[in-house]
Chains A and B, each alone.
Chain A
Amino acid sequence: MDIDLMLRVYPYFLEAAWVTIQLSVLTILLGLACGILGAAGRLSRFALFRFIAAAYVSFFRGTPALIQLFLLYFGGPQVGIQLDAFEAGVIGLGVNIGAYMTETMRGAIISIDKGQIEASRTLGLSRFETFRKVTLPQAMRLMVRPLGVNINAQIKGTALVAAISVVELTYTAQRYIGSTYKPFEMFLIAGILYLIIITAVGKLVTFIDRRVRLP
């Protein structure tokens, strides 16, 4: 193992890791927003909203994220959407993970016992009040862990933007593999940085889950 080389190139990987962190945070925030809208649509009283949300989930979960990303970045200009690679990466991957988060949130919400909703309606709360004060507080506790799984997948998923030449960790590793012919060393540097990010976020999710979980 070429330790000297690793010590020489690792600062470039640190810079790239910062880009990976930015991509992760932005795609996860956009994904959560899409997930909230999607779950609201899936559970809506109006058939049209239910249909739109179901179509959204079905398309984005039924096709590869890489194809969605290429469609947006390379195909976008043909339909008047001009984005640079970073923007396309954030929007494409954020909307993609949002479809998975939609199902996570919906799953948590529908798992709340029907009797609770009936009881609070009987006590005179409106449909909206019931959702806000009874269903949602319980569902939010249930969704922390499964959303953590989505988030973990998304951090690794940011690697896809390497295919549209965003200089993040995987792209940097690929470039240095090409120029140094040391695939194992480069993989190890990038891998350790990914693991640090993922472990830190995993700890945060566990911490939040412990804080909010009901006894």
Chain B
Amino acid sequence: MGLDFTVVPSYADALLLGVLWTIAITVAAGLLSFFGGILFAVIALYAPLVIRLPFRFVAWLFMGTPLLLQLFLIYFGLVQIGIDLPAFVAGVIGLGLHFAVYNSELIQTAIIAVDKGQMEAARTLGLSRRQALIKVVIPQAVRDVIPPIGNMMIALLKDSALVSVIGVTELTLSAQLAIGRTYRPFEFYAAAAVLYYIINLGMEAVIRRIERRTQLSR
């Protein structure tokens, strides 16, 4: 069986819809991982010991296990406890939490690295500890980690292919559905690879732009 790429254009609509879903899931999970990462970092550093220790244990468990395994846990685990989420939502939660744990590690390091004088100055000016943290320390820490978080987002885009296994019809599953009808795996996976590559280029451009804008004030 030779290669015949002429079958690909007739599934262009399905593939492009898959592209849109891939972008949607990447953006949604990316946002969740960013804000979740900040929240997790604050919990890991400042929550009372009884919360902090188990939290760090769970974070460690998530850092040491594959995303695919976590997706199975979240997808089937939620069904188990009676929450039947659409696959898309389960995928966003799984991807988002996975990357939130990684982002949290980056943000924790950055929070610790913010000059102690900043907190002291803010406290002297009459801000409470909480205010100083939210208005002074965290914004600076987050700005410092924008470049590595950008790299995480690019990794997230590529890992979004994994949610195809729990039935989210993004690009990878769209390609598989087309293969199911045409029996042309090489052509459609190659097409999917090209589309991912293009999304990746676009995303890198956006991220570099954000980086330039946020790193100007340094």
Contact = CB atoms under 8 A, between A and B. Distances in A.
Interface of A: 59, 62-68, 70-71, 74-79, 156-160, 162-163, 169-170, 173-174, 177-178, 181-184, 187, 190-191, 194-195, 198-199
A183 B80 contact: yes
Nearest to B188: A75
A191 B181 CA distance: 37
A132 to B, nearest CB: 32
Contacts of B172: 64, 66-67, 70
Interface of B: 1-3, 60-61, 64-70, 72-73, 76-77, 80, 158-162, 164-165, 172, 175-176, 179, 184-187, 189-190, 192-193, 196-197, 200-201
Contacts of A199: 64
Contact of B69 (A63, A66, A191): A191
Nearest to A70: B189
A194 B65 contact: yes
B80 A156 contact: no
B177 to A, nearest CB: 13
A191 B61 contact: yes
Contacts of A195: 60-61, 64-65
Contacts of A181: 76, 80
Given A59-B193, A70-B185, A177-B72, 4 more contacts: A64-B161, A70-B189, A75-B190, A159-B67
B69 A194 contact: yes
Contact of B1 (A64, A66, A78, A173): A78
Given A78-B1, A157-B66, A62 B77 contact: no
A65 B66 CA distance: 13
A79 B129 CA distance: 64
A183 B76 contact: yes
Contact of B185 (A65, A75, A184): A75
Nearest to B165: A163
A163 B190 CA distance: 18
Nearest to A173: B69
Contacts of B65: 156, 187, 190-191, 194-195
A169 B68 CA distance: 11
A156 B69 CA distance: 9
Nearest to A161: B68
A63 B193 contact: yes
B186 A156 contact: no
A108 to B, nearest CB: 18
A151 to B, nearest CB: 13
A100 B156 CA distance: 16
A63 B22 CA distance: 13
Contact of A159 (B68, B186, B187): B68
B77 A74 contact: no
Nearest to B60: A195
A80 B73 CA distance: 37
A63 B185 contact: no
Contacts of B68: 159-160, 162-163, 170
Contact of A65 (B61, B158, B184, B192): B158
Contacts of A75: 185-187, 189-190
Contacts of B165: 163
Contact of A184 (B73, B164, B176): B73
A59 B71 CA distance: 26
Contacts of B175: 67
Nearest to A178: B76
A62 B64 contact: no
Most buried by A among B68, B187, B193: B68
Contacts of A157: 66
A191 B64 contact: yes
